[in-house]
Amino acid sequence: MSWIDNLLANPAITEALGPAALETAQMVGIASIATVALGLPLGVAMVVTARGGLAENRAVSAVLSGVIVNITRSIPYAILMLALIPVTKALVGTSIGPIAASVSLTVAAVPFFARLVETSLREVAPGKVDAANAMGSTRRQIVTRVLLPEALPSLIAGVTTTVVTIVGYSAMAGLVGGGGLGRLAYNYGYQRYQPEVMIAVLVVLVLLVQAVQALGDALARRADHR
Amino acid sequence: MISVTHLAKVYSQAGRDIHALAGVSLEVPAGSVHGVIGPSGAGKSTLVRCLALLDRPTSGTVEIDGVDLASVPAGELRKARRRLGVVFQHANLFDSRTVLDNVAYPLEIAGVSRRERRARALELLGLVGLSEAAGAHPAQLSGGQRQRVGIARALATDPDVLLCDEPTSALDPRTTDEILDLIASLKQRLGLAVLVITHEMHVVKRICDTVSLLEAGAIVESGPLADVVAAFGSRLSTSLLALPGDLEDGDVDALDALGTSAPGHGTRGSALDAATRELGAAPRIVAGTVETLGGVTFHRLRLVAPPGTSPARLVDALTTHGAQAQEVTR
């Protein structure tokens, strides 16, 4: 059982794996919360200002959907995180560490999530909006009391997908100073060629993604009354 | 009471003007049901959307108790809408809310306190016979139950007018009758003016006091149910008293007759009896339908004159005895 001995004797696993996992959890957590906080209103704004929307506005719609979302989404994350280093420095004072990494993670994930929000809200049957209008709802009431609650199961599924995507990006962010599991796998698993570290990181990542997905599915099921 | 005058809606599509509604006028007094019937493409959907102010009409007025909804500013429109309840074909309930919270929604957005709206919603659910479903979600209900909830929700703000858009078109025949009877009883109990837009003749027969035929965006026939049916040869009369089955091709001498009798008597004591006595022989009945509509029993018959007489004589005999008749032209 030499590989188990290897595993337990390797400080990269016994001492570094725990903190690295926490760093990953930290950057994913911060980025996820920031993404929902920014992406939800952006997605709502895209739906509301779209053609035939509650507050149709072609100019705003073109800027939101065409410029912000499409441009950001067309930049590969590996390039985006490097390009954002000056912005990150200005924002959090450093470009190193999990908190700095959450800046680029958020910038990459917000447009992605906003598109998912847009799709979810569009799936709400137009008849429900008609009914809400016919009963004298304000536009704000239609968004907060009809569109968002009716789309909730789908929105939760969107958050789950987004968090899983952020976990994936976080490994890349680790390579350029973000820390976390990505850096551990790269430094020890790849550069020092310690396969047991690589495997340990993979196991932790798979468990993390499974946990996120299971939690997301359970919450979506609970919210779904259809 | 709702009164609609010269309602018009013009859409511009691919650079061309489409007159979806070309000046529709109608009036529904409190405590009565008016049906607007028409084939698909006649403008029913546009009419509903304009009446519910989901679309602004191009011109014309939609007055509820003297207030013109079509001309009030957007801010006041929300308040004015409370006098008009809308029932949709597919109920359009909110799946995320319980039945109780669905019915309470109009009160919630009107700022009514939680306790008050709960009490009112329960009362409305009682009115539509669904008290026990208060805590359920719409997905757990049948189509008919969902429509009951839709009706309760439409009544939450105590409207004077109930606008029903194809309220039973998604329901089976038995549930259809239950919903129609509910609407009729609510009209009675609450003194509602009910406007039903539908393509089903059955809806008109079962609950309407007055009816209009909508075609190509305009009302082409209109009036109290019995009057409209009595207008021999009119489109509504022919459709409401449709003859069953295919008619034999050989009957070139057939004639159409429309008679009336007291409800419950069938064709007994009608012009047909009298004409038979006069001619000394009974006409052959090729097809026929007998229905009591608006308190009058109508019989529409496709007849062939007995041997030894002529279609013209039969027409004469029938008309002399109070029926309307004419030879069928092919």
CB atoms within 10 A of CB B26: 19
Give B131 or A178, the one with higher predicted confidence.
Answer: B131
Q: 3-state DSSP call for residue A10? A: coil
A118 exposure class (CB count in 10 Å sphere: 0-12, 13-18, 19+): buried
The CATH number of A2-223 is 1.10.3720.10
pTM beyond cutoff 0.95? no
Question: End of a domain among B165, B195, B230?
Answer: B230
Let me know whether B193 and B246 are in one domain.
Answer: no
Q: Do B86 and A131 lie within an 8 Å CB cutoff?
A: yes
Mean pLDDT of A181-186: 84
Whether residue B236 lies inside any domain: the answer is no
Q: Closest chain A residue to B141 measured between Cα atoms?
A: A226
pLDDT at position A1, please?
A: 55
Whether residue B235 lies inside any domain: the answer is no
Which pLDDT band, with edges at 50, 70 and 90, does B157 fall under? very high
Let me know whether B201 and B261 are in one domain.
Answer: no
pLDDT at position A15, please?
A: 79
Q: What is the CATH number of the domain that holds B112?
A: 3.40.50.300
Question: End of a domain among B230, B259, B286?
Answer: B230
pLDDT at position B96, please?
A: 96
Q: Do A136 and B77 lie within an 8 Å CB cutoff?
A: yes
pLDDT at position B247, please?
A: 62
B309 exposure class (CB count in 10 Å sphere: 0-12, 13-18, 19+): middle
Q: What is the mean pLDDT of chain A?
A: 90
Report yes or no: A57 at the B interface, CB cutoff 8 Å: no
DSSP A93: S
Q: What is the mean pLDDT of chain B?
A: 90
Let me know whether B45 and B154 are in one domain.
Answer: yes
Mean pLDDT of B111-139: 95
Residue among B82, B86, B95 whose CB faces A150 most closely: B95
Distance CA B312, CA B42 (A): 37
N residues, chain B: 330
Let me know whether B66 and B188 are in one domain.
Answer: yes
Residue among B86, B94, B137 whose CB faces A146 most closely: B94
Which are the contacts of B210, defined by CB distance < 8 A and separation ≥ 6? B28, B32, B33, B34, B35, B222, B223, B224, B225
Which pLDDT band, with edges at 50, 70 and 90, does A222 fall under? very high
Q: Closest chain B residue to A129 measured between Cα atoms?
A: B92
Interface test with A, best of B96, B107, B141 (most A CBs within 10 A): B96
* Domains held by chain B: number: 2
Mean pLDDT of A146-168: 96
Let me know whether B202 and B163 are in one domain.
Answer: yes
Q: Is B321:B327 a contact under the CB 8 Å cutoff?
A: no
pLDDT at position A173, please?
A: 86
Let me know whether B26 and B137 are in one domain.
Answer: yes
pLDDT tens figures, B22-45: 999 999 999 999 999 999 889 999
Is the pLDDT confidence value at B47 over 70? yes
| Residue-number span of the structural domain to which B259 is assigned | 241-327
Helix segments in A84-138, DSSP class H: 85-92, 98-122, 126-134
Contacts of B105 in chain A (CB under 8 A): 132, 135, 145
ipTM score of complex: 0.88
Mean pLDDT of B3-15: 90
pLDDT tens figures, B204-243: 999 999 999 999 999 999 999 999 999 998 999 989 998 8
Which pLDDT band, with edges at 50, 70 and 90, does B245 fall under? low
Q: Is A165:A73 a contact under the CB 8 Å cutoff?
A: no
Is the pLDDT confidence value at B253 over 80? no
Q: What is the CATH number of the domain that holds B285?
A: 3.30.70
Of A9-18, A123-132, A144-153, B316-325, least confident by mean pLDDT is A9-18
Bridge partners, B67 (sequence order): B64
pLDDT tens figures, A36-91: 999 999 999 999 999 888 999 999 999 998 888 888 888 888 888 889 999 999 99
Report yes or no: A130 at the B interface, CB cutoff 8 Å: yes
How far is it between the farthest Cα atoms of chain A?
72
Whether residue B254 lies inside any domain: the answer is yes
Let me know whether B246 and B171 are in one domain.
Answer: no
Let me know whether B222 and B250 are in one domain.
Answer: no
Range A209-217 contact pairs with CB under 8 angstroms and sequence separation of 24 or more: A209/A164, A209/A167, A212/A160, A212/A163, A212/A164, A212/A167, A213/A160, A213/A164, A215/A160, A216/A156, A216/A157, A216/A159, A216/A160, A216/A163, A217/A157, A217/A160
Which pLDDT band, with edges at 50, 70 and 90, does A117 fall under? very high
If you compute the radius of gyration of chain A from its CA atoms, what whole number of angstroms results? 21
Let me know whether B160 and B186 are in one domain.
Answer: yes
Angle, CA B25 vertex, CA B19 and CA B28 arms, to 5°:
140
Whether residue B225 lies inside any domain: the answer is yes
Let me know whether B87 and B172 are in one domain.
Answer: yes
Whether residue B306 lies inside any domain: the answer is yes
pLDDT at position A190, please?
A: 81
pLDDT at position B153, please?
A: 97
Whether residue B82 lies inside any domain: the answer is yes
Distance CA B232, CA B261 (A): 15
pLDDT at position B330, please?
A: 59
Let me know whether B174 and B299 are in one domain.
Answer: no
Distance CA B83, CA B155 (A): 9
Let me know whether B210 and B246 are in one domain.
Answer: no
Question: End of a domain among B211, B230, B249?
Answer: B230
Mean pLDDT of A162-185: 87
Q: Do B52 and A134 lie within an 8 Å CB cutoff?
A: yes
Is the pLDDT confidence value at B268 over 80? no
Distance CA A102, CA A62 (A): 27
Report yes or no: A127 at the B interface, CB cutoff 8 Å: yes
Whether residue B169 lies inside any domain: the answer is yes
pLDDT at position B251, please?
A: 58
